[in-house]
Amino acid sequence: MIEELAVKTREGAELIDVTAEVQAIAEKSGVKNGICVVYVPHTTVGLLINENEPGFHSDLIGVLDRLVPQKGSYRHPDGNAHAHIKAGLIGSEKHFIVRDGRLVLGTWQSVFLCEFDGPRTRSVMVKVMEG
């Protein structure tokens, strides 16, 4: 079973918490113990596991903006090379252990879609497997 979430982003760069939606898919799957794969099929979006605290979100975006500024001597012709590079640094998939029908996450961990070229509607693909 593969489920797909549609996530509408509102900003050029933002973090959107998708933990509850991914958890609901894991529970709906009926898998008690296994693996959950979460993937974004986009080149300007990433997935991150971290704390759901707004100060951290703006800190992360700020650091990435300083590392990879929007304006630069990029060769990519579409004007969004910065977004491709940021997404490449963050990565496009995460794997989670499923135990007793729930994602195994640390106390402060959440799952975020990281938008770097919005606003857009993005897909998040989720597959839960026994194992």
What integer pLDDT is reported at residue 122 of this predicted model?
Answer: 98
pLDDT digit string (tens) for 28-44?
A: 999 999 999 999 999 99
Beta carbons of 116 and 16 less than 8 angstroms apart: no
Cβ neighbours for 50, distance < 8 A, ≥ 6 positions apart: 56, 60, 109, 110, 112
Question: What is the CATH number for 107?
Answer: 2.60.120.460
2, 50, 41: which is closest to 22 by C-alpha? 2
Global pTM value = 0.95
Q: Is the pLDDT of residue 68 over 90?
A: yes
Overall domain count for the chain: 1
Mean pLDDT, residues 2-13 taken together: 98
Structural domain boundaries enclosing 100 = 2-130
Closest alpha carbon to 119 in 50, 44, 62, 57: 44
Average pLDDT of span 66-89: 94
Per-residue confidence at 98, pLDDT binned at 50, 70, 90? very high
pLDDT for 10 beyond 90: yes
Q: Residue 131 above 90 pLDDT?
A: no
